[in-house]
Structure 1
């Protein structure tokens, strides 16, 4: 079986967020897909099968299947539109989060994602203890979003992963206003056996709505300030986010499955 590894939200390898992408003729068992995911040991492995004129897409982390993943969706669309069906400029995916559409626009791949509704929550002692700093505010969607004082606080953060397991939300995102970007952020996912997600698309379904509301405009240029780093070009349209990024192919491989 062919597998691609794509660095998403960047235009060069060794940056952005790597996702493994398996385009298959038919579904494998969940057990085998989990074994492939754990063998890859990346934050996400995407599995997709074409059904009619659309693709069914599933995302797996080393901790299990999840309901939404931005960078692996971008990576899958990049593979399909460059190696599987290069005549396509748009791909529709059926997913656990409904229909997701990715459109190629020059060197950008634009995804139409649902925005998470954010509800203010208390900054708890568990949050402060886990992050090592006191956020200005906290919000909850699928994940927890914490607002920090400034960009340097985001970049220098060294959270305690064991203590993050005790906090609410699937992932923990921290964000602040940026100097060269509208916002900077980092994303941590120890509950999914991922210490830090280099560039988290679904995380920006929390981060971007916050900054769009805060800044009073719907176009947000975001930077994920992980060690690898990545850029996201986002537009809020009602309850949806158009999230665009670039991609670079790292590898192609043959997986040998008995």
Structure 2
């Protein structure tokens, strides 16, 4: 076994010996399942006629057509759940600084770049695992509720399964972005605050503000959340867009490259700024 393989195994061991990953997975599942199930019931109920649009204070205008509804519900896994793999990556990295486990790690393997590479690979895999858990919530619960109203959840469509596969990829890349952020900002508290503030407040506001002109929309498409939605191919964020202006997203491969660029930039800069420093 090569030293790099051992380093990857060590990173998986670190993750597996803590409760952090499965607690995040459990909270994420409940959060996404609640939102996906509730909104599936609302929109599928209106589409099937079981719920009158007037009963919820809305006419049919502004509601998604049913053909677009299942992808929007399924995309909750990434468009809402992406904060969890980011947190996992950031916590797994900043925990090394907080608990000073980097010292024995670097003594065992002084190749710091190799250690960081192994951590990135391990968190990429764990991000994909979280992606599967998130999809069990959004697709599992969403499809079940949609089917309960007698509507087709579109699980037989190849486009749906392509969306599912790209969602797993997006969640995996988000975890590596978390690693990069954790390296760049070693303080665990600061990293958590940055992740929550940016993902829950700053970026949604920036994305919404960017929709009002064509120029700003083009810029907004390169925000990390928008790039992730483009990679997946659908986003519930489009319902909040004025006049449907959010429809013009990047191509899925362009969104993937933009998201990957964020991960690489954060990791490389963090490596140069903090990872190479002396640790005690």
TM-score for the superposition, normalised by structure 2: 0.25
Is the radius of gyration larger for structure 1 or structure 2? 2
Higher relative contact order, chain-length normalized (CA < 8 Å, sep 6+): 2
Q: Which has the higher helix share?
A: 2
TM-score for the superposition, normalised by structure 1: 0.27
